[in-house]
Every structure is written in C-alpha cells, then in structure tokens.
Amino acid sequence: MKKLLLFLTVVTWIGSCQQKPADTTQDAFPFFITEEKPDRPLSAAVERNYDGYMAVRPEQNELYTQFKYTPLKGFDYHGGDGTITRRDPSKVIFENGKYYVWYTYRNTPVKPVGMARAKEANDTIPSSDWDLADIWYATSRDGFTWEEQGVAVPRPPKPQPGWRSVTTTDILKWRGKYYLYYQAFMEASGLKGDNCPVAVSHADSPDGPWTPTNEVVIANGAAGEWDQFKIHDPYPLVHDGKIYIYYKSGFDDRPEYKPSKIRMQGLAIADDPLGPFEKHPLNPLINSGHETTLFPFKEGVAAIVQRNGMEHNTIQYAKDWVNFEIASISELLPIAAGPFIPDAFTNTKDGRGINWGLSHFINAASDWSRNHTILTRFDCDLSLDVHDEQMKGHYLRYSPEFHYKQGLSKEQVERIKRENKERMTQGKSS
C-alpha cells in the first residue's frame, strides 16, 4: 500500500511539472482602449499611460497642448542691431480695460560684449543681453498690438539693490496694490557669474509710480547651498492665502560639462508681499527648467518646464503646489512665458488654466554679434474653459531645411572621418 501511495505521489508530481504552463494566452489588448485602467497584467509603459497622466491620449489631456506663435506689433528693435532688447516678460494682467505686461528693457549705445568679456563692461557697455537694463511696461487692447508706456522701475542709484541692472520681473496684485519682483544685479552679469538676489517695488496702480523698498526681498542662499549665487525668474502666485514665489537657481558649475550648471526651481513663501519669505524645506522642487512658467490648475499648480534639465520640454503638475509630476510632453514650448492668468491672485482652488501670453526669442537675429531678444505672443490650450483641438495635435512637421540647420559641427565631421578611416584600414566586416 505504502509503495502504491509513494508511486501515485511521484506520478502526480511529475505530471504537475510537465503541465502546460499556466494559460498565458490571455485575451490580447483590446482594439478600443478603455478609459478606465483594465484589470489585467499591463506593461510598465501602458500602466504609466493610465496612472501617470490625466488621460490615455494627448487630445483628451487638459495639460497637453501645442503652442502657436504670433509676432507682436508696437515694439521697435533698432533694426535688430543689438542695441535694444526686450525679454523675460511678466505675467499679463487685465486692468483699466486693457492688458499690461512688464519686461526687461535694455537700450544701450552698443551691443553686449558677452558675459565672458564682462571685465570690458562699463557704464555704457553691457556685458550680457540683460545688463544695464530697466523694467519697462506696455499695454494692449488685444494682446497682439502693444503700446509701450515707458519705464516702470529704473535702475536705482548705487548702492541700492539693482543699481547695475534690474531684470526678469514679474507682477503680483495683492489686496488692491501691485508689486513687481525683479532680479537686482549689483555687478555686471558674468563678472563672477549671473549672480543676483531679488528685490521688489510697489505701487497703487499698474501705471505706477513704483516705489522700491531698496532691500533684498529674496536673498541668495548661504555658502554651499544650491541657490547661493542666483535667485532668478521670481514668479509670484497666490495660494493658501499666502504669496508663493517660485524661482530658478543654477548650481553645480563644473567646466567639464556643457552647459556647466544644473538649473532647478525653488519656492519661497510669505504672508506679506514685502516678506519675510521663507524658502521651502524641500527646495529645489522642479528638477529642470529655465524661466519656468506656472499657473493655478484645478486645486494644484501646473508648470511649463523648458530648456534645461532631465525633464525639459514637459508640462508638470503639483496637486500640493510642491511635489511636481510630469503631466505631458510637448515641443516648441514658450521660453520665459508670461501667460495671461485671470486667477493668478484669486487664491483659487479651481484654477482654470491658460490659453495665451507673451514669451521671448533670444538672439532673435540668429547673430550673436548683435545679440538681442524680442517679445512674442504664444497661444495654447491649457485651459479647462477652452477646447481647441487644433492645439492638441501630436506632430509638428519640421522642414528638411530646419533639420539641416541643426547640422554637424566641424569637430563632429572630423570624428566621423576618423572612424571611417579606422574601419577602412582594419577592413573588418561588422
């Protein structure tokens, strides 16, 4: 009997080992994708397509959009000779029946010598495109044709913060008053680096007059901290009854890498527009970006992250205004965008998003010998109140000429010639 039991046990065990594998030919992934995540094994990418984004396809993703650009009327650039620049526009606001925008304005007798030659800069020779600049503003009735109004915040006298240059401003409206935050340079940009803190001026009207506090309002970090040198691109919004100012810093300069620095975005929060501002303990909050644009969206905040970093060319979202995740990937993102955000300062918990604003094109003449920047208009559909399917395409066709303009450098051609010569010499087939 025992032998029989043992025999049956062994036979059953062998049978189970030889059994066909579990039936893995589950139904194939369906032709009509379900909006809800299906209860079935999924690949990492399809799992992410459900869990990582607001929709399974871009055209349904409220935080996906393409961007379209329109030249502005009303700004003169001296024929593009490099002596005049307008750049880094603020957010656009609507007051007194018109749109307002503020921006960096440089108008110098000569063009910039470049940051690498900052030692040659003086009271009339600018080092960088934004050196020896003031904050100017313009108004518009349609967002396409603008009327330049003149200076809003001039460079203050030495030794006030910003005596060398006041740049890269942004606007806050708070309890009926207006505040312009800006980078306040105390030396020619490029002498030690593009180093500066942030200062602020305030007014009772968007038309000024603007009164500087003549103090630093967001200071550089302490020695050894990520933001010890640069507090760039101050970007105020209102959330949780406080002033949230997002900003960029560049750090980890290592000449062996190009670009040699990492750029990330931090956050400083205050109860009062004039501070004190407290930097968020989790800073930096966004691991990429340059002149990053943000706007309230649903209960959280969205960010257009362009130019630098592992996650450049993305639109990101932080439900808690601190922890950002990628919401979509796009192309031709607006650089240094200042959107029109009707609910930027309303302390909203239902941010409606954006669909237009101003941005800029650096080296607008594609000629560094006359470097200057121009303002432009961008349009998009990152709005819960607009459904413009013409902004939800997936593919921008770039012409062959556009691709050939991004051609090989001389060094790259030489490297390829060397590789070919070695392969011909060795004669080894691959």
**Binding interface with ligand AAL (CB under 6 A):** 88, 130, 167-168, 183, 194, 232-233, 248, 290-291
Residues linked to residue 278 through DSSP beta bridges, in sequence order = 269
Cβ nearer to ligand AAL, comparing 126 with 342: 126
* Shortest Å, Cβ 296 to ligand AAL: 22
Cβ nearer to ligand AAL, comparing 293 with 314: 293
* Shortest Å, Cβ 90 to ligand AAL: 12
Cβ nearer to ligand AAL, comparing 247 with 340: 247
* Shortest Å, Cβ 359 to ligand AAL: 12
Which residue's structure tokens are 């079935």? Answer: 40
Type of residue found at 17: C
Q: Tell me if residue 89 falls in helix, strand or coil.
A: coil
Cβ nearer to ligand AAL, comparing 173 with 290: 290
* Shortest Å, Cβ 189 to ligand AAL: 7
Dihedral sign for Cα atoms in the order 251, 252, 256, 258: negative
Cβ nearer to ligand AAL, comparing 130 with 181: 130
* Shortest Å, Cβ 339 to ligand AAL: 17
Closest CA to 338 of 388, 387, 292, 287: 292
Residue number, nearest CB to ligand AAL: 168
Contact partners, residue 64, CB within 8 Å, separation at least 6? 55, 58, 315, 327, 328, 330, 392
Check residue 6 and report its DSSP letter: H
Phi, psi angle pair for 150, to nearest 5°: 115, -160
Which residues in 13-48 are b (16+ Cβ under 10 Å) and which e? eeeeeeeeeeeeeeeeeeeeeeeeeeeeeeeeebee
* Shortest Å, Cβ 168 to ligand AAL: 4
Cβ nearer to ligand AAL, comparing 239 with 263: 263
